[in-house]
Every structure is written in structure tokens, then in C-alpha cells.
Amino acid sequence: MGDRGSGRRGALTGRRGAPLPAGLIRPFLYGAAPPLEDVHGAGLSLSIRPAARADAALILALVGELAEYERLAHEVDATEAMLAAALFAENPRVFCAIAEWDGAPAGFALWFYSFSTFRGRHGIHLEDVFVRPALRGRGIGMALLADLARRCLAEDLARLEWGVLDWNEPARAFYRRLGAIAMEGWTKNRLDGGALAALAGRA
């Protein structure tokens, strides 16, 4: 889960806080299971690992594939350097995991910490989750989400949340099966470009 489109996110067939203090950010994966055997018995496996600086080009490519799926490729202006600077800074405020199927990149999840004043606790906002179309149906998206759920429990975070495009019914149905609740009655608002600059210039 860039969150440029209205009502975004979700390409499992899913995504956008205030960061935790640096001292509270722990190693990425929680309780990660060993590689999972392919249900088709071909000896293939699924693994999830933290992204590394060398993955910047791969992450940009996956973002591009997600944008194509969401019909928003024209809105992508991120660069490899921009993603590398954000994800691999000394004290990053955004994080990424790479899913691999039989050692090959299969998808990713990109997230950051949010905060709920009502709950008085941090949470995780999943900006992007994407599984390459040819590899869907193998539990890869579920594994990416489960890894973040384990982090939430380990860090006593209040919630895991994301957006999904209104038309993406396969993803919406998947999330419903997980027990996710659609936040009806809430509309996301955004300022960017000229409107953002205009507001910044007001007294």
C-alpha cells in the first residue's frame, strides 16, 4: 500500500502517522515462520525478509506494478533514490518487507507507524501491499499481513489499518475474510500541489 488515488489500496489479487521513537523500533520480523512448503508439492517455498538498500530498484518496480494494477501509473513520480533515502535513512520512518517465492521477488508490504489519540497508542498504517499476479493464491499476501499483525501484538500497538480502492472487490472480499472492518462514514482528505502550497502560505 503512494496513496495517490481516492479510496486507495489493495492489490493482493491492499494500503497510508507519527513514528515511534527510534529506540522503540525493533528488528523487522516477528515470529516469522520457516519457509512454507508449496501446497502443490513442487518443493517451492515462501519467505519474508526486511528490505535492504540494494532492493530500492526492486521496490520501485513493484510500486510501478501496483500502480498499473490500480490504474494509477500516471501518478507515480517516485524515484529509486527517493525510496532509498526514505527507507534506508539512519532513522527511517517508513519500512518495507519483501516476499519471495522460491527465492524470487513475489511482492512487498510498505508501512509506517500511526497514532490514535482515542486509544493513546501507536498503530501501523499499511501504505502498500502487493503480490505479483502470477503468484497470487499461494498465501503470500496473507503472510505479509500476518507478519505485521505479529509486530502489532509484540509492540502492543492498537491496530493495523489500510485503505482499499472501492472497485477492488477481490481485495475487499479477502480483507472481510480476515475480519477487517471497512470504515464506512469516513472520507479521506488530501492536500497536495498548489492547494498545499496555498495553505502553507496563509497566515
User: DSSP string spanning the chain?
Assistant: ----STT---B-------PPPGGG---S-SSPPPPEEPTTSS--EEEEEE--GGGHHHHHHHHHHHHHHTT-GGG----HHHHHHHHSSSS-S-EEEEEEETTEEEEEEEEEEEEETTTTEEEEEEEEEEE-GGGTTSSHHHHHHHHHHHHHHHTT-S-EEE---TT-HHHHHHHHHHT----TT-------HHHHHHHHT--
Choose the catalytic residue: 30, 69, 113, 175. 175
Q: Are strands 36-37 and 45-50 parallel, antiparallel or unpaired?
A: antiparallel
**Closest C-alpha among 61, 54, 102, 100 to residue 78:** 61
Q: Cα–Cα distance between 109 and 142 in angstroms, integer?
A: 11
Is 30 an active-site residue? Answer: no
What residues are labeled active site?
A: 175
